[in-house]
Amino acid sequence: MASSAQASSPLMRQRRRAGALFTLPATVFVLLLLGVPIVQAFYYSFTKWDGITAIWVGPQTYVTELHNPIFWRVLQNNVLLLLAVPVAIGIPLAIAFLLNQRVWGWQVFRSVYFLPTAISWVVIGMVSLRFFAQQGMLNQLLSDVGLGFIQTDLLSTERGALLAVALTFIWSMVGTNTIIFLTGMATLDPSLHEAAHVDGASNWQIFVHVTLPQLRRFIQFALVITVIYAFTALFSLIFVMTGGGPGYGTTTLEFFVYQTGFAQGAFGTGALLGVILFAIMAVIGIIQIRLLRSVD
Amino acid sequence: MSSSTAEVASGTRPPGGHRLGRGLLLVVMCLVAVVMLYPFWFMIRTSLQTQEQFQSGSRGFSVSSWSKLFHDLPATQQMLNSAIICTCAILIILALSATAGFAFAKLQYRASTFVLLGIVAAMLVPMQSIIIPEYVNLSRLHLITSYAGAVLVYAALGIPFATFLMTTYYRGLPDELVEAGVVDGLSYVQVFARLALPLSVPALVTVTVLQFIQIWDDLLIGLLFVQNPDQRPITVGLAALSAGRVTDIPVLMAGSLLSAIPAILVFLFFQRHLVSGLTLGISK
């Protein structure tokens, strides 16, 4: 197509105008409700702000926050939660592999494993809370199988509560990641698999040397999704399960934003924490775009 | 699309196989199923007890928690609130992402790629990063006392991915569609509404299903942007109930189950759309 001809044609001009008009509402919406607030967050992160009056402080706000031990405690929780990510990838990978063996009823199992993704983290958190409680199902289960001497009370300690949140998180990611891997396994080249079989490779060898390398893209995708969830999607779960406690035991950065802003009314500091979260996610996002080239 | 390709690769298994291995596999898969379904069982079982029965660990059975849920608590109203917020937000998302997606794919203008990039980049902004200014802005506009604030925020959060999805979908339609429509004397609005829109129903359904699950299940936005207790969505109601000093766990579980039912139904009927929405980023 000759672009010079396009530019001169009144029909083309009309088409471009229509295009601009069509995209206007969505653009305005995103600009006003997502674009403006992020700029505001950046501005207010340099202020002392109670929601009504903002007093300019400057970069000192960041220095102050970086000297706040609670901030580092919170960030530590985020890092510890990241330890759950390999498990949240590994288990679904194993499950997808088993499902991919196509035993009788595998499609039903697939649906069953995927079902929890439809459920709110609020609901999951409530059940999980009863599961890990001292009078809860976990201890019941332990005593039922003759391990009654191991009485757990995870939610009462800082590290224990974080472990309980992490375990619930891993459980919640099973459906999503299993589906991602199953989709990946459906794209595998069967001839490679067969060739390996003919060469006498064991199932395990085939999985490690043939299947896994072909799944690389899908594993990366699951990794990115899981990390994004770990950083930004656990608010409801933490809110319902632990309220961030005990102490700051389960307060992650996203939860800290809420606490600082809305429980303590320190809107400026809350905005600052939000900006730091955004910076972390932007780095992850850049990696994601590189991996997925989702915009072409 | 992905589940249909899943069937194709099934020919990779060696015929026959070991009976024992297969049996073992089935057992493992059943165990995983038990782990995944346990919360549902727990909710059903607990909701069919009274608080006393639950605490004493008895095997009793009662529907009193369910009647308490409906009679003593605004559960029905809160379900309705969730439905209203979901519906309004999804309608806005559909309208804006379909029009924008169509234009980004078929009616490109000079800056359109740049604008699309900007909208898609907004996907990377975590809600928590903007929630404080957003809250202050909307409360200044007196929008957080009704459904409106939450609807607007949910819509804004949903539009970037929905626009991306719709653009991808419309790109798959032939350019001749627009040309032919224009030659036939249709305006661009008519080409969109009469030709493109009907063809994009599958993509619209995917957007609807994904957004429904997302909005219906969310807590944070409802918690902050719906300040009127009578207009609270069900998730906020449950969280408030759970945080109460004396929590009636069977009632709470009945409420949890109730809140989960619409999402489960949507899941059962539209699972395929959820899968295709999830894997859109990689399956291209």
Pick from B105, B14, B275: which is nearest to A101 by CA? B14
Q: What are the pLDDT digits (tens) for A11-22?
A: 788 888 888 999
Q: What ipTM was reported for this prediction?
A: 0.87
B228 min Cα distance to partner chain A (Å): 17
| B74 pLDDT above the threshold of 60 | yes
| CA–CA distances in Å: residue A140 to residues A245, B13, B176 | 24, 41, 66
The counts of H helices and E strands in chain A are 17, 2
* Single-letter residue type at B205: V
DSSP type of residue A202: -
Q: Domain ranges in chain B?
A: 68-283
Q: What percent of chain B has pLDDT over 90?
A: 46
Fold of A83-251: MetI-like fold (1.10.3720)
DSSP state of B14: P
Q: Is B107 within 8 Å of A38 when comparing Cβ atoms? A: no
pLDDT reported for residue A3: 45
Are the C-beta atoms of residues A42 and A59 closer than 8 Å to each other? no
Average pLDDT, chain B: 85
pLDDT tens digits, residue range B103-117? 999 888 888 899 999
| pLDDT exceeds 50 at position B161 | yes
Burial letters A241-251, b for 16+ CB under 10 A, else e: bbebeeebbbb
Contact state of B103 with A98 under an 8 Å Cβ cutoff: no
**Mean pLDDT (whole number) for A184-196:** 83
Task: Render pLDDT for A232-269 as a digit per residue (tens, 0 to 9).
Answer: 999 999 999 988 878 898 999 999 999 999 988 889 99
CB–CB contact A30 B29 (8 Å): no
CATH code of the region B68-283: 1.10.3720.10
Chain-chain contact of B256 with A126 (C-beta, under 8 angstroms)? yes
Extract the tokens encoding A196. Answer: 């390996």
Considering only CB atoms, A34 lies closest to which of B156, B182, B213, namely B156
**A213-239 confidence digits (pLDDT tens):** 888 888 888 888 899 899 999 999 999
Interface contact flag, A274 B129, Cβ < 8 Å: yes
User: Given this model, what pLDDT does residue A291 score?
Assistant: 65
What's the confidence (pLDDT) of residue A150?
72
Residue A282 pLDDT grade (very low, low, confident, very high; cuts 50, 70, 90): confident
Pick from B32, B132, B217: which is nearest to A113 by CB? B32
SS3 A49: strand
Give the range among A77-81, B156-160, B174-178 with minimum mean pLDDT.
B174-178
Of B33, B192, B238, the CB nearest to A122: B238
Q: What is the pLDDT of residue A92?
A: 94
Interface of B with A in 215-234 (CB under 8 A): 216-220, 223-224
Q: Is B120 on the interface with A (CB under 8 A)?
A: yes
Match 């970069």 to its residue by tokens. Answer: A59
pLDDT digits (tens, 9 = 90+) for A78-134: 999 999 999 999 999 999 988 888 778 888 898 899 999 889 999 999 999 888 887
The owner of tokens 């015929």 is B15
Contacts of B22 in chain A (CB under 8 A): 101, 103
SS3 A285: helix
* Geometric angle at alpha carbon A198, from A196 and A199, rounded to 5°: 65
Question: Tens digit of pLDDT for each residue in A154-176?
Answer: 888 888 899 999 999 999 999 99
Q: Using DSSP, state whether B111 is helix, strand or coil.
A: coil
Per-domain residue ranges of chain A: 83-251
Task: Identify all chain B residues contacting A123, using CB atoms and an 8 Å cutoff.
Answer: 39, 43, 238, 256, 259-260
- pLDDT for the residue numbered A30: 95
Per-residue pLDDT at A31 exceeds 50 = yes
Other Cβ atoms less than 10 A from the Cβ of A116: the count is: 23
Query: Is the Cβ–Cβ distance between B12 and B27 less than 8 Å?
Result: no
Q: B239 and A292: CB-CB below 8 Å?
A: no
pLDDT of residue B15 exceeding 50, the answer is: no
Locate A80 and state its tokens.
């510890």
B277/chain A closest Cα distance in angstroms: 11
Cβ pair B222, B236 in contact under 8 A: yes
Answer yes or no: are the C-beta atoms of A239 and A259 closer than 8 Å.
Answer: no
User: Could you tell me the pLDDT band of residue B11, with boundaries at 50, 70 and 90?
Assistant: very low
B60-76 mean pLDDT: 84
Q: Give CA–CA dist B59/B205, Å, rounded.
A: 43
Confidence (pLDDT) at A8? 58
Structure confidence at residue B153 (pLDDT): 95
- Give the per-residue pLDDT at B246: 66
- What sign results for the dihedral spanned by CA atoms B180, B186, B192, B197? negative
Q: What confidence category does residue A68 fall into, taking pLDDT thresholds of 50, 70 and 90?
A: very high
B residues 39-98 closer than 8 Å to A (CB): 39-40, 42-43, 46, 92, 95-97
pLDDT band for position B83 (cuts 50, 70, 90): very high
Which two structure tokens, joined as six digits, stand for A104?
């009788």
- Strand A47-49 relative to strand A54-56: parallel, antiparallel, unpaired? antiparallel
| AA identity, residue A229 | Y
**What Å distances lie between residue A241 and A161, B61, B256, CA to CA?**
9, 27, 14
Could you tell me if B119 and B160 are in contact, meaning their C-beta atoms sit under 8 angstroms apart?
Answer: yes
> Does the structure show a pLDDT above 50 at A202?
yes
Percent of chain A residues topping a pLDDT of 90: 41
Q: Name the average pLDDT for chain A.
A: 86
Q: Residue A44: which of A282, A257, A253 has the closest Cα?
A: A257
Taking the alpha carbons of B27, B31, B36, B39 in that order, is the dihedral positive or negative?
A: positive
